[in-house]
Amino acid sequence: MWEDLAKRIGPERSKGTYAFRSLLDSGAMLAFGSDWTVAPLNPMEGLKAAVTRQTLDGKHPDGWVPEQKISLEEAIHAYTVGSAFAEFQEKVKGSLMIGKLADVVILDRDIFQMDPANLDQVKITMTIVDGRVVWEGK
């Protein structure tokens, strides 16, 4: 995929795609989502990609344009606060605060205590929307 991108727009311009670190460093707000076909449906895969910059084809184990890696905290912020900001909903969602929607997922492990290369193996065990459990894994 990345090789195709470089062929289409050139190697220098392709380095500017998904320039997450550069955008954050410039003061931009990142807003991540899991809308297909631009990003994986599974946000855990999106977190892994943002943090490690590893590609699905395994051709870039150290990361594609690795200088654009961001931290796990920054990637989670982009999926939560950043996404709410992008849809002008930051006053009602995006962070856990009194008066905001309680949209939460519970994971099967602490993602801050693991190798980011394994983030795509994390399972969601519960989904809470507006404070109500709407899905619970077995």
Compute the radius of gyration of the chain from its Cα atoms.
16
Name the nearest CA neighbour of 75 among 34, 32, 109, 36.
32
**What is the tens place of the pLDDT at every residue in 13-44?**
877 888 999 999 999 999 999 877 777 788 99
**What is the tens place of the pLDDT at every residue in 119-128?**
999 999 999 9
Distance CA 36, CA 102 (A): 25
- pTM, two decimals, is 0.90
